[in-house]
Amino acid sequence: MKSTAVPSNIRRVALALAHRYDPTTAENDIDLRNAAHADLPPVMRLLHIIQTETDDGEVLHEAVLYYGSSMVQIAWLSELDVPGLVMGDLVTLVTGEAVCQFDRGVYLVEAVRARPTPNASVPIFATIPPEWVGNAAILARAQQLWSRLEREDALWVNEMLWHSEVLRWYLQDKVPAKGAPRSRFERAVDEASRAAHYHSDDNISVHVATALVQSVEARGGHHG
């Protein structure tokens, strides 16, 4: 993090947030001298959001986002409700650089947009909270397998798993197995691990990607 000047629009977010907890807060009471800029991932998963109208008629958004084993609180202002925000979906921070207000532990950002376009630069399994899976070890295996994919195969996997309704089905739908039923995700990670073991380096990527998402493709693919 680095200390730097705080833009006026971010100061407005800080004031609106302060008013949520103490309506008597004046602008001069907002001290961001110890605030710092922080680089947040541009795409994160929305876990929770509260939206309240300010005295100026704007909407203050307070959200909890997840990425890479961390949950962060963010806040931003908009003139209207942000359309398309769905709990569990991926969202995009308009700027990857946020201002952290240390007294509340909240990152103040310019805006958030719903449902970003799938891209290969987002490690999709790093956006999944462990409680969605119940098995942190297998989630870590999936992340490691994804990291071995070529860009076009990483994009394909991301496209298949990008939307939360498909992802939750993939993570939670049970399939027959010896002993207790297992989720499609668990079976896919096992199959992808075997593919990584048995195939040579020159074609490992496509085999691992196929194993990871073949059940989603058989279901009919992703949908937006």
Q: pLDDT digit string (tens) for 27-56?
A: 666 666 556 667 788 899 999 998 888 888
Cβ neighbours for 223, distance < 8 A, ≥ 6 positions apart? 163, 165, 166
CA gap 54, 94 in Å, rounded: 21
Give the H or E element holding residue 151.
Answer: helix 151-161
Output the pLDDT for position 14. 74
Same domain, 179 and 205: yes
Both tokens of 150, joined, read: 């070529």
pTM of the model: 0.83
Q: How many domains does the chain have?
A: 2
Please choose, from the candidates 70, 72, 54, 68, the residue with its C-alpha nearest in 3D space to the C-alpha of residue 112.
72
Please choose, from the candidates 27, 33, 7, 8, the residue with its C-alpha nearest in 3D space to the C-alpha of residue 103.
33
Same domain, 156 and 205: yes
Same domain, 13 and 110: yes
Q: Domain containing 40: what range?
A: 8-114
> Confidence class of residue 1 from pLDDT cuts 50, 70 and 90?
very low
Same domain, 177 and 110: no
Both tokens of 97, joined, read: 């650089």
**Cβ count within 10 A of residue 42:** 17
